[in-house]
Amino acid sequence: MTFAQIPLEHKQRALAELTDVKRLFANRGWFQGTSGNLSIRVGDYAPDDFHFAITASGKDKSLSTPEDFLFVDREGKPSEPTMLKPSAETLIHCEIYKQTGCGAIFHVHTVFNNLVSELFWERKSIPVDGVELIKAFNIWDEEAQIDIPIVSNFAHIPSIVPEVTERLDKRIPGIMLRKHGIYAWGANAFEAKRHLEAFEFLFEYVYRWELLKR
């Protein structure tokens, strides 16, 4: 499906959902210094032909303007003429969409997700053992144990993408960039939001529990 073939109401719905999520996360202080990015896929999913709306680069996400978002294709290039610039991290969104077929990806930088990414960097994953909120990921095992992958953080974003491809665990709807932030995804905006909120709870829990054990 080409971008022109995607119904206007689908595009408008994606922008409205992104606006609502951006406002919510900004109110929580999750977009310090213009950090973070959000995206929602529009149109039918196909690995070789899809488009998504994403936050524009360098914008103050505590504000709401007509230039908050733009549409890009599967390679992260604008789907229509625009003066807006997609985030450099758009390539990571592209890869996650290709690998998972998800409908939305939300990425935030917080103190706790940065701390645990460094705390567990040597093991390349953040362990979570038996915490109730693991169920937010549709993992219902009694006393479930999960490991949230951590990947290297490079200034050169294309260097990150192969590691995302290699380390992504389709059972876990998220991947952490070391000392950077979490990418969480879901079938739609509601699910991606739920997953992100669950990750942030678990990161704070894990960090505080590590302190208590020492």
Decide if 52 contacts 93 (C-beta within 8 A).
yes
Other CB atoms within a 10 A radius of the CB of residue 48 amount to: 6
Half-sphere exposure in the Cβ direction for 41 (13 Å, CA): 26
Decide if 187 contacts 97 (C-beta within 8 A).
no
| Domains observed in the chain | 3-213 (3.40.225.10)
195 is an annotated ligand-binding site residue: no
Residue-wise pLDDT for 55-89, tens only, equals: 998 887 878 887 899 999 999 999 999 999 988 89
Partner residues linked to 183 by β-bridges: 107, 175
Residue 197, class by beta-carbon neighbours within 10 Å (0-12 exposed, 13-18 middle, 19+ buried)? middle
Instruction: Indicate the DSSP class of residue 57.
Output: T
Q: Residue 102: pLDDT band by 50, 70, 90 thresholds?
A: very high
Read off the pTM: 0.96
